[in-house]
Structure 1
């Protein structure tokens, strides 16, 4: 099958949607399908062979974070050429209402379209603002996928219609067989805790983890908090207890291999997120690596953790709740081993083998229904947009 995927966020900046698109594309390539991914990217950066850049992105604040998006006539021209050249059997758009390349590809599309929604928010300004722009193209979306029930509820609230729920995928075996790094391994006298995420985004909860550390250090003076992820944490550390700051090691952005080894090495993984999450892919990664997961009780996290059976949870934003969970895990080996075993048992539910099969089933369903010609209004809209793409906007 010839598959075209569109990612709205810059492919050369780490992010959950980018990783999802990358992994799904590579899984399908390994299965023998032809896959091309269109996404914003710096043309000077080394890019995977299946990626086509639609231009450099600009940072925009979105959903409590900073997304790197691209929009405009140059992007439109590149979208049109990519679609014409690709002759895709199915077009898979991620976050199609985000004002970036996915939305432009939806406007221009004439082939069967599958759309995946990753965002969970009760009030999506992007979806609300995009409705007038989307109305002529909504009928082109043959199937909608949401990565969680929370993301599906967002879609139903703003766009209506039925939605398949297919979770994010993880290469479970890679995490399960990851080697441990002695520098990151804990000991009974000096246990290690891990935090992964963009360190200067408040919603990721680094400040909560730091606020929990003094109580942890009272019981385990040698404990260390290993923080991995992009961003500047200096402001957060400056406001933290000096003992917590001293016990924190900033690892910066880490490679996929280092992330796997980090999660396999530590005594517990901390996920003190405050909101804005639709799934919790790193929770699954930690479970697959054998790290006990201690997470705030956000509804998406509770679903991933099987209502707390595969990980310990605590009230959102509660440093004391997190400290209690950490002390429970570090102080009782049976608790630690129970969470490890439960996490490892649950992680395979999210393995890419099963997840990619569910996505392919949606593709095949959409293709089977594509014999019915799309409404003339949808075809005309796509041709108008493509006509604009071929006006030499880049010259």
Structure 2
């Protein structure tokens, strides 16, 4: 089968959707299929399978800065890609994200499958999605990564989607050597923007005993990076890593005792939680819809009230001093991660694509 995995966000920028698109494509290739990743790209790529649509601009959406293409030239590039490649299926992620989504639905001659990742529909998002009208009918198959994403898609289209989940590359995390560390380590990885709740975690560290040997690794960057670095620069326990490679992220996550996801809203699933589970790190996450769907409280992770640094500090302190609890959580979490393998997810998609083509 020849497939196009279409991503509306720049694959040069780390992100949940981008990560899933790249991991799915690798898995499908390993299963013997020909797969192109069609996406905007802001840096030169030497990966043959990435078909670049040009550079992006950051656009505020759902509380986050999204790197999307707004260039009219993108339409010409996409038309050329589709005309020169006889794809059996075009798999479009986040179909209603401007403007790669609408261009794909308008220009593809192949059947289009759509996967919805978003949690929460603003008035602008609903209006834009509904304005697409007939074009959205081009989605012959509809998937969602979670019940939250399914509900959001239904709210704007009136059409149901099959929940397939996200996936994690178990081999990538199990085979990497843990990063060297000198203390009990807490890790945050993600965009530095209000929705992700990084400042809540930084405030929580103020409540933790300064005499205890503990470090916080902060990976990623974003619009709040400079402000937060300046505000918390006097705390030597906080290590600002900036944007890290996939390999370094995996190694550091393997070494971390706790991975914290303190998001405030807008998370439909939480791929980083799955990755932390695969690394046998204790998962501590905000008690919000998208995270509740994955984490069973005090079974394979711990949920805390969103926006509450004192509650977060209390849980981190508890994990530090309760090794038996941490061991139980991480064993259960690894078992959970194994049910979300990226290869299993790829096979579910491929089975649906085959059924569509044979139908």
Bin for the TM-score computed over the shorter chain: over 0.9
What's 1:384 paired with? none
CA contact (8 A) 1:118 1:146 kept: yes
Task: Please say if 1:355 is aligned against 2:345.
Answer: yes
Greater CA radius of gyration, 1 or 2? 1
C-alpha RMSD of matched pairs (Å):
1.7
* CA 47–275 in structure 1, closer or farther in 2 if over 3 Å, else same: farther
Equivalent residue pairs, number:
358
* CA 163–185 in structure 1, closer or farther in 2 if over 3 Å, else same: farther
After superposition, residues 1-395 of structure 1 pair within 5 angstroms as: 1-42=1-42, 45-123=44-122, 125-132=124-131, 134-182=132-180, 184-186=181-183, 191-199=184-192, 201-218=193-210, 220-231=211-222, 233-240=225-232, 245-369=235-359
What secondary structure sits across from 1:304 in the alignment?
coil
What secondary structure sits across from 2:208 in the alignment?
helix
Shift of 1:185: 4.8
CA contact (8 A) 1:4 1:37 kept: yes
Shift of 1:84: 1.0
Q: In structure 2, how many angstroms separate the alpha carbons of the residues matched to 1:18 and 1:121?
A: 19
| Cα offsets for 1:159-218 (capped at 9, x unmatched) | 111201111111113212321222x353xxxx211111112x111111111111122225
CA contact (8 A) 1:178 1:289 kept: no
Q: Give unmatched runs, 5+ long, in structure 1.
A: 370-395
CA contact (8 A) 1:150 1:278 kept: yes
Q: Give unmatched runs, 5+ long, in structure 2.
A: none
* CA 203–116 in structure 1, closer or farther in 2 if over 3 Å, else same: same
CA contact (8 A) 1:313 1:325 kept: no
Shift of 1:122: 4.0
Q: In structure 1, how many angstroms separate the alpha carbons of the residues matched to 2:217 and 2:72?
A: 44
CA contact (8 A) 1:94 1:116 kept: yes
Q: In structure 1, how many angstroms separate the alpha carbons of the residues matched to 2:353 and 2:296?
A: 28
| Cα offsets for 1:325-353 (capped at 9, x unmatched) | 11110011111111111111111111112
Which stretch shows the higher mean deviation, 289-298 or 123-132? 123-132
* CA 344–46 in structure 1, closer or farther in 2 if over 3 Å, else same: same
CA contact (8 A) 2:129 2:157 kept: no
